[in-house]
A and B are shown apart, each in its own frame.
Chain A
Amino acid sequence: DAKTTQPPSMDCAEGRAANLPCNHSTISGNEYVYWYRQIHSQGPQYIIHGLKNNETNEMASLIITEDRKSSTLILPHATLRDTAVYYCIVRLMEYGNKLVFGAGTILRVKS
């Protein structure tokens, strides 16, 4: 079973920041938080990951709470092309390529 809880859907206005929450209250100290997204008819796409510190890359920012029990993915300026299912995953590196996906959050960006 997935170790994360996400809202089933969210809406965001184009050009505004999209903030996607994720709860992972049972995360262990050596598990990373990963975010992937899946646009319709495509495979999942890696977005960002982190362990303790906040992370930022060209796609998004990841904010992890100090107790690591929850995190937020931030898309700073959402576009229509960001409409997708967003998956929050906790991953133990020793598990290799085994990712446990939940149902994810459907983000709809509207003009």
Chain B
Amino acid sequence: DAGVTQSPTHLIKTRGQQVTLRCSPKSGHDTVSWYQQALGQGPQFIFQYYEEEERQRGNFPDRFSGHQFPNYSSELNVNALLLGDSALYLCASSPTGGYDEKLFFGSGTQLSVL
């Protein structure tokens, strides 16, 4: 049983560009969340998707957007990249709309903005 898978593992972009990160949840999970982790800090919640809709959002600008597909996979899009967007982006999944006890994380996508 594959866990949460994310692609790509590493990505290099330049300021002003746009980026799309992808996530496939653990089998049987229908809820996907995205987190941003800057170097040396704990992960910060970006948003959560359930039933193809954004259900919760953290304190991130509109440049950060997402999508969930009917197969529960998800994308994170970041527009107009800034140097400060350089971070590890983590995807997490859970069953039952996000009210399960455990949250499973992927290994993340390391984004570098030059």
Q: Does B44 contact A (CB under 8 A)?
A: yes
CB-defined contacts of B97 to chain A, threshold 8 Å? 96
Interface size, chain A (Cβ < 8 Å): 22
Nearest B residue to A42 by beta-carbon distance?
B107
Contact B44 A101 (CB under 8 A): yes
Q: A-B pairs with the 10 shortest C-beta distances? A: A43-B105, A101-B42, A96-B98, A97-B33, A97-B98, A46-B102, A97-B48, A98-B45, A44-B105, A101-B43
Q: In residues 26-44 of chain A, which contact B (Cβ within 8 Å)?
A: 41-44
CB-defined contacts of A44 to chain B, threshold 8 Å? 43, 90, 105
Q: Does A100 contact B (CB under 8 A)?
A: yes
Q: In residues 49-104 of chain B, which contact A (Cβ within 8 Å)?
A: 50, 55-56, 58, 90, 92, 94, 97-99, 101-104
| Interface of A toward B, CB cutoff 8 Å | 2, 41-46, 49, 85, 87, 93-104
Interface size, chain B (Cβ < 8 Å): 28
In Å, the complex CA distance between A101 and B90 comes to 13
CB-defined contacts of B50 to chain A, threshold 8 Å? 96
CB-defined contacts of B21 to chain A, threshold 8 Å? none
4 more contacts with CB within 8 A, not counting A97-B98, A104-B42, are A97-B45, A98-B45, A99-B103, A100-B45
30 contacts between A and B (CB under 8 A): A41-B107, A42-B107, A42-B108, A43-B105, A43-B106, A44-B43, A44-B90, A45-B105, A46-B102, A46-B104, A85-B42, A93-B99, A96-B33, A96-B50, A96-B55, A96-B56, A96-B97, A96-B98, A97-B31, A97-B33, A98-B48, A98-B58, A100-B45, A101-B42, A101-B43, A101-B44, A103-B40, A103-B41, A103-B42, A104-B42
